[in-house]
């Protein structure tokens, strides 16, 4: 794995932009992902966050877990709040106000990104604002109680599309959000997972250094919503990548690079079988998932090969 | 000082230019388009140095303003009708987070059916959003009050977003003579924006926590007090404006009302038409007068009570309808006067919906109709004026 660089935990900063003491669930890989992103971002950053798990667990009045400037307003608008911040600083600096350097970063969950905030993200990407959008994808509206989103994978049981006597759970395939980002012709799009912390941090650093809109999509394993033991989050993140369900790749100015390509993908059942949200899957459904994962992975490989 | 002929929309854009805003985050909607188009042209020609964020919806228009204001940029936007409704939830955030955004609203009726024409239904729908809200009646006021809005909103004792309402089409698209001040005079009146709390890595802070039941009420109490206390600053700003530019504004303005037995209450551009009706009735010896409500929020209880208590009859014209309920302005008027021993009788009319005009003759008829109804004891919630049966 070339992009992991030198495995040197000692070189990672000890400073926490996102401090301990917040109220995330035991084993929350999303909180881990946020911590890693913040280590990679450093202190010269302004964050605009959407309503969701990370916002709620970190900012109960009068407390805050954030040691960087941070704003939360509503659910669907972190991308445009970030745009306003970026434009405001641009105008102020141009007109003579002295302001410190600050990368503008918008953060939202899958609900905020795939569904309610899609329009605002599209607008911000199209307008070309200099900002990074990070999507923390735990594959459902977890903060409000595990309701489905368009990021919920095929076959998963959620509270609004549950598996039942006459229903199989999620009937549609996960929306391809990175592809939507790529379709906006932005300079950098990447997927990441906190189970591969150095890959994740490298990608954040890379995105931060690019001028223009950038997008990083982070798989955030959720023990509560996926119904797995709380000590399985990191392992499951690895399985998502090793089975090809969540490939790690980058798209730089339209050019695809697959960051992790094992000689043989593990079967998807290795990933699905330990999750309560997939407990009801029949062999037929699992086969369908395997076929689709294999096909999409092959397509991704083609793109990476220059196809 | 120079005298120009400007459409009210352009007058507002001119005020925005003289205020030297930093950011506008805006979406077009009839009949506000001339404001945002004019601002865009001013920027394109280098006459205004500001960032224009051409957003993809009004919800984003106001959200962009939140971000810009939060880093300390002087921020403006404009909208109307449906657009004001689409940004509804964001309005509460702007006031709750004490961001001094200034917005011009070209008052437009709400769907459905679709109507691009003017009335106050969009205003009444955002009554409770915690914004300072001011009505302009003509193009000069549109210019003056927009300039004042920045001074009021950004005052460290206020820090509340402010709306300036102008009637869609009837005011927005009307060309009137305006006296424009020189930039040096404006700069004396309007200081630079120096916010105390901004998003800045040198002094990190968190904006937008969530509040549990044992804290939320107190945050709302402080917010309400801030809106009520802004009255002092509003009066101060208008007084300062009057001293510099010779035009005086107050929360409640009267017209030939000193010895009036009958008063008519209007808001917005209808006031100017109503004034002509008052003149005609006065010629005929009738003791009638006009109450022009300029400041809608914070509601000017004190000034309003003082203005109307001596009259025998107060006729209120609502330019919006609250289905199944009383006229919105009329119900606030009644509530403001309820506990007073000496107060006028009140007759409510609803009119001018969806851009329907009321002429000078119409206002004369309305006043007479109101007087007749009061005499006959017909005090139902409201009567729709000028409707086809």
pLDDT in tens, A3-45: 455 556 777 777 889 999 999 999 999 999 999 999 999 999 9
For residue range A83-106, list pLDDT tens digits in order: 999 999 999 999 999 999 999 999
User: Are B209 and A119 inside 8 Å of each other by CB?
Assistant: no
Mean pLDDT of B359-373: 98
Set of chain A residues whose Cβ sits within 8 Å of the Cβ of B54: 127
Cα A78 from Cα A110, distance rounded (Å): 13
The C-alpha angle B303, B181, B136, rounded to 5 degrees, equals 35
User: Are A77 and B63 inside 8 Å of each other by CB?
Assistant: yes
User: Are B25 and A80 inside 8 Å of each other by CB?
Assistant: yes
**pLDDT score at A3:** 47
Set of chain A residues whose Cβ sits within 8 Å of the Cβ of B68: 84-85, 87-88, 91
> Which one is predicted more confidently, A11 or A123?
A123
The yes-or-no verdict on residue A202 having pLDDT over 60 is yes
Nearest C-alpha of chain A: how many angstroms from B140?
Answer: 29
Mean pLDDT of A219-231: 98
Mean pLDDT of B102-123: 97
A1 band by pLDDT with thresholds 50, 70 and 90: very low
For residue range B247-304, list pLDDT tens digits in order: 999 999 999 999 999 999 999 999 999 999 999 999 999 999 999 999 999 999 999 9
- With a pLDDT cut of 70, the percent of chain B lying above it is 100
Interface test with B, best of A55, A88, A95, A119 (most B CBs within 10 A): A88
**pLDDT score at A2:** 44
User: Are A76 and B59 inside 8 Å of each other by CB?
Assistant: yes
Tokens of B18: 């003289």
Set of chain A residues whose Cβ sits within 8 Å of the Cβ of B212: 60-61
Please indicate if any CB of chain B lies within 8 Å of the CB of A212: no
- With a pLDDT cut of 90, the percent of chain B lying above it is 100
| Numbered residues of chain B with Cβ closer than 8 Å to any chain A Cβ | 22-23, 25, 49-51, 53-57, 59-60, 63-73, 75, 89-90, 93, 97, 199-212, 215, 219
Nearest C-alpha of chain A: how many angstroms from B24?
Answer: 9
| CATH 3.40.50.920 residue spans of chain B | 252-384
Query: What pTM does this model have?
Result: 0.97
Judge whether B39 and B61 are in contact, CB under 8 Å. Answer: no
Q: Which residues, 6 or more positions from B301, have their beta carbon under 8 angstroms from its beta carbon?
A: B336
What average pLDDT is seen over chain A?
Answer: 95
A267 band by pLDDT with thresholds 50, 70 and 90: very high
Q: What is the 3-state secondary structure (H, E, C) of chain A?
A: CHHHCCCCHHHCCCCCCECCCCCCCCCCHHHHHHHHHHHHHCCCEEEEECCCHHHHHHCECCCCCECCCEEECCCCCHHHHHHHHHHHHHHHHHCCCCCCCCEEEEEEEHHHHHHHCHHHHHHHHHHCCCCEEEEEECCCECCCCCECCCCCCCCCCCCCCCEECCEECCCCCCCCHHHHHHHCCCCEEEEECCCCHHHHHHHHHHHHHCCCCEEEEEECCCHHHHCCCCCCHHHHHHHHHHCCCCCCEEEECCEEEECCCCCCCCCHHHHHCCCHHHCCCCHHHHHHHHHHHHHHHHHHHHHHCCC
**pLDDT score at A15:** 81
Please indicate if any CB of chain B lies within 8 Å of the CB of A48: yes
Which of B64, B201, B211 lies at the smallest CB-CB distance from A102?
A: B201
Tell me which chain B residue has its CA closest to the CA of residue A17. B204
Mean pLDDT of B50-57: 98
Judge whether A78 and A51 are in contact, CB under 8 Å. Answer: no
In terms of DSSP H, where are the helices of chain B? 8-18, 33-44, 58-70, 81-86, 88-96, 121-125, 139-153, 183-189, 213-245, 270-283, 301-308, 328-337, 360-376
User: Are B49 and A89 inside 8 Å of each other by CB?
Assistant: no
Q: Which residues, 6 or more positions from B334, have their beta carbon under 8 angstroms from its beta carbon?
A: B326, B346
User: Are B59 and A69 inside 8 Å of each other by CB?
Assistant: no
Mean pLDDT of B2-29: 98
Which of A64, A88, A123 lies at the smallest CB-CB distance from B67?
A: A88
Set of chain B residues whose Cβ sits within 8 Å of the Cβ of A84: 23, 25, 53, 63-71, 75
**pLDDT score at A307:** 61
B319 backbone φψ class: left, alpha, beta (φ>0; ψ -120 to 50): alpha
Cα B144 from Cα B149, distance rounded (Å): 9
Mean pLDDT of B225-240: 98
Tell me which chain B residue has its CA closest to the CA of residue A55. B209
Q: According to CATH, what is the number of the domain B2-245?
A: 3.40.50.970
User: If we measure between CA atoms, which residue out of A201, A179, A184, A183 comes closest to residue A192?
Assistant: A201
Which of B51, B55, B71 lies at the smallest CB-CB distance from A80?
A: B55
Please indicate if any CB of chain B lies within 8 Å of the CB of A61: yes
Mean pLDDT of B184-211: 96
Set of chain B residues whose Cβ sits within 8 Å of the Cβ of A77: 59-60, 63, 66, 90
**pLDDT score at A7:** 58
Q: According to CATH, what is the number of the domain B252-384?
A: 3.40.50.920
User: Are B68 and A88 inside 8 Å of each other by CB?
Assistant: yes
Mean pLDDT of B150-175: 98
The yes-or-no verdict on residue A115 having pLDDT over 70 is yes
Q: According to CATH, what is the number of the domain A2-304?
A: 3.40.50.970
A 117-146: CB under 8 A from B: 119-120, 122-123, 126-127
What average pLDDT is seen over chain B?
Answer: 97
Cα B221 from Cα B229, distance rounded (Å): 12
Is the complex ipTM higher than 0.95? yes
User: Are A88 and B200 inside 8 Å of each other by CB?
Assistant: no
**pLDDT score at A14:** 79
B96 band by pLDDT with thresholds 50, 70 and 90: very high
- With a pLDDT cut of 90, the percent of chain A lying above it is 94
- As beta bridge partners, residue A48 has A71, A106
Which of B68, B89, B206 lies at the smallest CB-CB distance from A66?
A: B206
């Amino acid at each position: 794995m070339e992009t992991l660089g030198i495995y040197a935990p000692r070189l990672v900063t000890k400073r926490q932009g996102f401090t301990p003491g917040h109220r995330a669930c035991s084993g929350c890989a999303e909180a881990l992902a946020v911590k890693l992103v913040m280590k990679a971002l450093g202190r010269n950053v302004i964050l605009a966050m959407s309503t969701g798990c990370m916002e709620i667990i970190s900012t109960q009045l009068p407390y805050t877990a954030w040691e960087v400037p941070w704003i939360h307003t509503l659910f669907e608008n972190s991308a445009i709040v970030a745009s306003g911040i970026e434009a405001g600083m641009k105008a102020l600096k141009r007109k003579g106000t002295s302001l410190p350097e600050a990368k503008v970063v918008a953060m939202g969950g899958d609900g905020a990104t795939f569904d309610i905030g899609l329009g605002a993200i599209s607008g911000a990407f199209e307008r070309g604002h200099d900002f990074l959008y990070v999507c923390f994808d735990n594959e459902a509206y977890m903060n409000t109680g595990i309701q489905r989103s368009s990021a919920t994978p095929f076959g998963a049981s959620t509270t609004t599309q549950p598996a039942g006597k006459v229903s199989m759970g999620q009937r549609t395939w996960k929306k391809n959000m990175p592809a939507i980002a790529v379709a906006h012709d932005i300079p950098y799009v990447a997927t990441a997972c906190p189970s591969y912390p150095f890959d994740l941090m490298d990608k954040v650093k890379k995105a931060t250094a690019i001028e223009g809109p950038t997008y990083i999509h982070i798989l955030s394993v959720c023990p509560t919503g996926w119904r797995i033991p709380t000590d399985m989050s990191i392992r499951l993140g690895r399985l998502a990548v090793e089975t090809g369900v969540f490939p790690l790749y980058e798209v730089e100015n339209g050019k695809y690079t697959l960051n992790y390509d094992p000689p043989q993908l593990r079967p998807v059942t290795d990933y699905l079988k330990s999750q309560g949200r997939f407990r009801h899957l029949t062999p037929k459904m699992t086969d369908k998932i395997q076929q689709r994962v294999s096909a999409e992975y092959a397509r991704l490989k083609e793109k990476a090969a220059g196809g | 000082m120079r005298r120009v002929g400007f459409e009210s929309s352009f007058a507002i854009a001119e005020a925005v230019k003289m205020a030297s805003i930093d950011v506008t985050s805006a979406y077009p909607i009839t009949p506000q388009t001339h404001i945002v188009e004019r601002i865009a042209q001013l920027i394109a020609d280098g006459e205004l140095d500001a960032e224009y964020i051409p957003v993809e919806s009004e919800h984003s228009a106001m959200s962009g303003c939140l971000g810009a204001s939060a880093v300390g940029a002087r921020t403006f936007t404009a909208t109307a009708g449906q657009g004001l409704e689409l940004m509804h939830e964001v309005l509460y955030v702007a006031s709750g987070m004490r961001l001094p955004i200034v917005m011009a609203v070209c008052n437009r009726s709400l769907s459905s059916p679709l109507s691009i024409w003017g009335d106050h239904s969009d205003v009444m729908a955002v009554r409770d959003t915690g914004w300072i809200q001011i009505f302009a009646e003509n193009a000069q006021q549109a210019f003056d009050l927009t300039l004042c809005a920045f001074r009021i909103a950004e005052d460290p004792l206020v820090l509340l977003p402010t709306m300036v309402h102008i009637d869609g089409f009837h005011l927005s698209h009307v060309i009137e003579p305006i006296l424009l001040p020189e930039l040096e005079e404006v700069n004396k009146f309007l200081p630079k924006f120096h916010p105390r709390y901004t998003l800045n890595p040198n002094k990190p802070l968190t904006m937008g926590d969530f509040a549990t039941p044992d804290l939320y009420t107190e945050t709302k109490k402080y917010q309400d007090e801030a809106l009520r206390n802004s009255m002092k600053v509003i009066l101060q700003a208008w007084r300062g404006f009057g001293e510099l530019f010779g035009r005086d504004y107050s929360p409640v303005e009267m017209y030939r009302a000193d010895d009036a037995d009958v008063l008519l209450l209007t808001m917005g551009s209808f006031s100017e038409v109503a004034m002509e009706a008052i003149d005609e009735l006065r010629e005929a010896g009738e003791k009638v007068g006009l109450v022009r409500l300029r400041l809608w929020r914070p509601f000017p209880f004190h000034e309003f009570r003082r203005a109307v208590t001596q009259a025998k009859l107060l006729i209120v014209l609502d330019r919006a309808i609250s289905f199944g309920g009383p006229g919105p302005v009329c119900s606030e008027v009644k509530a403001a006067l309820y506990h007073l021993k000496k107060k006028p009788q009140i007759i409510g009319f609803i009119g001018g919906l969806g851009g329907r005009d009321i002429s000078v003759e119409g206002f004369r008829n309305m006043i007479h109709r109101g007087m007749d109804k009061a005499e006959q004891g017909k005090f139902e919630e409201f009567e729709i004026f000028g409707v086809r049966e």
